[in-house]
Amino acid sequence: MSVLFEPVTLRNLTIPNRIWMAPMCQYSAAVEGPDQGAPTDWHLSHLAARAVGGAGLILAEATAVSPEGRISPADLGLWNDRQREAFTRVTRFLREHGAVPGIQLAHAGRKASVRRTWEGGGPTGPGEHGWQPIAPSPVPFNDGHPTPAELSVGDIDRLVGDFAAAARRALAAGFQVAEIHGAHGYLIAEFLSPFSNRRTDAYGGSYDNRTRFALRVVDAVREVWPDELPLFFRISATDWLAEDPRDDREGWSADDTVRFAKDLLAHGVDLLDVSTGGNVAGARIPTGPGYQVPFAAKVKAETDLPVSAVGEITRPRQAEEIIASGQADAVMLGRELLRDPYWPNHAARELGAAEGRWPDQYHRAV
């Protein structure tokens, strides 16, 4: 029996296997009009294909909790009921085909208002449906990026409410897992790291202050998210500054992540989705097969919080070893599922687990 295909239960929700689809932005929502931010036929076909392909959990891409929280003008949102209703056909299809539907709730912070990746990804202004980004501190992400407006305490209170309201809509839309996006240099990650958080009030300076906003968001979402359903948190386990002896700038470290994981567990988070990077432009990142897995393994070894691992996981036996060796409880696949939506079903055959979860319509090809 392959451990990769063993079910996992978090709270009262059982996910049928340990191969999960990581959230990946598609930049394909309407940028204006009544359907702004709502999922389209593209999102349905994109997510549905991975459910048919056998993934146990499908995490929809970073979905903004407010209009200025989008990464690009073409991002998904969940700040109104029209968007909520559009998501229902997506969640219904995923559940009908054996996958658990999840959604990542996000705010892009100082990395907001940029073009789509295939358009260069640079900042976009008001004449191109853009807006001024907001952040914990008026520190631009990179050269050429605008200086973000510094959030007031009142703004922070509003944003906490935005996350809770989006979580309510996610539940009404049929999602069974909510993930708070605290990684990759977006708003919550900007608060966590001293590299981007220069505040001198209750939300900056000390570790307790820098984690205050994230924990307030967790508490607000957990309050409206049912006790029987799990809540995830995605984190960048390091800014990659502490790992680079040539760089003496202060950032977020793997040890900070272990400490924070214990806090998240105490506040009702059920799994830490461990990634890295994204907050420091030009950081030196030594990529390679499974290069982020050791950070997930460190959290799993030093805390009681379940974890998922991500990052150049491309081969079934590689994924199997990550789970079998106790480095993670599940693997998140990103680009590999873009290349092959049926990767989980192919992996089942390679590992001798079963014939996979092929739909009846495809059995003649199995």
Which listed CATH number (3.40.50.850, 2.40.10.220, 3.40.50.720, 3.20.20.70) goes with 3-357? 3.20.20.70
Q: Which residue shows structure tokens 């990650």?
A: 189
CA 103 – CA 247 distance, rounded (Å): 35
Among this protein's residues, is 291 annotated catalytic?
A: no
pLDDT for 356 equals 78
**Furthest CA-CA distance within the chain:** 64
CA 109 – CA 178 distance, rounded (Å): 20
pLDDT for 275 equals 98
- Catalytic residue, chosen from 27, 186, 203, 342, is 186
Output the CA torsion 40→43→44→50 (10° steps).
Answer: 180
pLDDT for 237 equals 98
Q: How many CA atoms lie within 13 A of 199 on its CB side?
A: 26
CA 313 – CA 333 distance, rounded (Å): 7
Cβ-contact 309, 332 below 8 angstroms: yes
Tell me if the pTM is above 0.85: yes
pLDDT for 125 equals 83
CA 299 – CA 260 distance, rounded (Å): 10
Per-residue pLDDT of the chain (366 residues; tens, 9 = 90+): 899 999 999 999 999 999 999 999 999 999 999 999 999 999 999 999 999 999 999 999 999 999 999 999 999 999 999 999 999 999 999 999 999 999 999 999 999 999 999 999 999 988 889 999 999 999 999 999 999 999 999 999 999 999 999 999 999 999 999 999 999 999 999 999 999 999 999 999 999 999 999 999 999 999 999 999 999 999 999 999 988 888 889 999 999 999 999 999 999 999 999 999 999 999 999 999 999 999 999 999 999 999 999 999 999 999 999 999 999 999 999 999 999 999 999 999 999 987 778 888 988 888
> Is 100 in a helix, a strand, or coil?
strand
pLDDT for 52 equals 96
pLDDT for 245 equals 85
Strand partners, 77: 64
pLDDT for 365 equals 84
pLDDT for 363 equals 85
Around Cβ 346, how many Cβ atoms within 10 Å? 14
Per-residue DSSP letter, 131: -
CA 153 – CA 156 distance, rounded (Å): 5
Tokens representing 202 are 């209750």
